[in-house]
Amino acid sequence: MMIDALPNPTTLNGADCIRILGVRIEDVDMQAACDLIKVMIESGGVHQVATVNPEFIIRARRDATFARVLEHTELNVPDGVGVIWAARRQGRLLHERVSGADLLPQLCARGSQYGWRVFFLGAKPGVAERAAANMAFQYQGLVVAGARAGSPHPDGDADSLAVIERAKPHLLFVAYGAPEQEHWLARNLPRLAQSQNGLVGIGVGGSFDYVSGIQKRASLRMQRLGLEWLYRLMREPRRFWRQLALVRFVIAVLTDSRATISI
Ligand code: UDP
């Protein structure tokens, strides 16, 4: 199915949503995103959440499998200043940017209040454990159900699934970067459906690197100026080729016949 051919839904999960270059994104702020995730946990079953940034959208244009995964996620939050800008060209002022690196601690804060069990999967060996320990220290009462690097490759699925099944988390953060983390969740969440009460899996990119303290995040000022991408590029120049996706995104949005209103 071509995602470009899909209708532009106005509400999903009670939140307004739009399509940017065919990819569905819910117009939620941090509070609404956390509230929806709470509802998902309480409603039982397994649910997938994605933090959609311009790199995701460019990827989805040439990767039909990834596009399908993003179509079937229950909630796609707007991540990245580019997404906010592209929405504005459609005449839509999205509430705010909701990045994985911000969503993770917010959900840990709520998890410590509601008794959620939280699992950290991904990043380099030892980083998930450090991220989990820092969150548990910061949010007293947070129950860390488990933490491990695991592997984004299907070969590693059985080992990770066995550990996660035993841990019975309510929240599963997966940090393998896109699209691997989204594929990991789409492949494995259904396998966890029998054994869980209510489980939300979220791909969180480089967030473990930040909350573990092994990477420094851009200052709030740079984030507010929409320059976090520039900060990451300066710190990691090898991201240059990846970040060309931003240029492709801008060109695609500017030449997209569906985005006609400019404000
Ligand atoms: N990662 C991993 N295994 C891999 C590739 C990446 O665990 O095979 C981790 C990496 O260590 C990092 C995260 O995935 O913690 C992705 O970070 P990236 O900066 O690529 O994601 P972004 O924040 O840009 O989405």
Residues 75-98: tens digit of each pLDDT: 999 999 999 999 999 999 999 999
Instruction: State if residue 80 touches ligand 1 by the CB under 6 angstroms criterion.
Output: no
Confidence class of residue 258 from pLDDT cuts 50, 70 and 90? low
The answer on pLDDT for 68 being more than 90 is: yes
Residue 131 CA to ligand 1 center (angstroms) comes to 14
Instruction: State if residue 208 touches ligand 1 by the CB under 6 angstroms criterion.
Output: yes
Three-state DSSP class for 261? coil
Residue 99 CA to ligand 1 center (angstroms) comes to 15
Cα–Cα distance list, 106 to 21, 92, 113, 190, 198 (Å): 29, 25, 11, 26, 19
Domain ranges of the chain: 24-256
Q: Which atom of ligand 1 is nearest to the CA of 51?
A: 25
- Give the Cα separation of 165 and 185 in Å (integer): 14
Pick from 53-67, 105-119, 166-180, 227-241: least confident: 227-241
DSSP 124: S
Asked whether the bond before 154 is cis by omega within 30 degrees of 0, the reply is no
pLDDT for position 194: 83
Residue 152 CA to ligand 1 center (angstroms) comes to 10
Residue 178 CA to ligand 1 center (angstroms) comes to 8
- Give the Cα separation of 153 and 176 in Å (integer): 10
pTM, two decimal places: 0.92
The answer on pLDDT for 222 being more than 80 is: yes
Closest residue by Cα to atom 1, ligand 1, is 176
pLDDT for position 238: 86
One-letter amino acid for residue 111 of the chain? G
Instruction: State if residue 175 touches ligand 1 by the CB under 6 angstroms criterion.
Output: yes
Q: Which atom of ligand 1 is nearest to the CA of 178?
A: 25
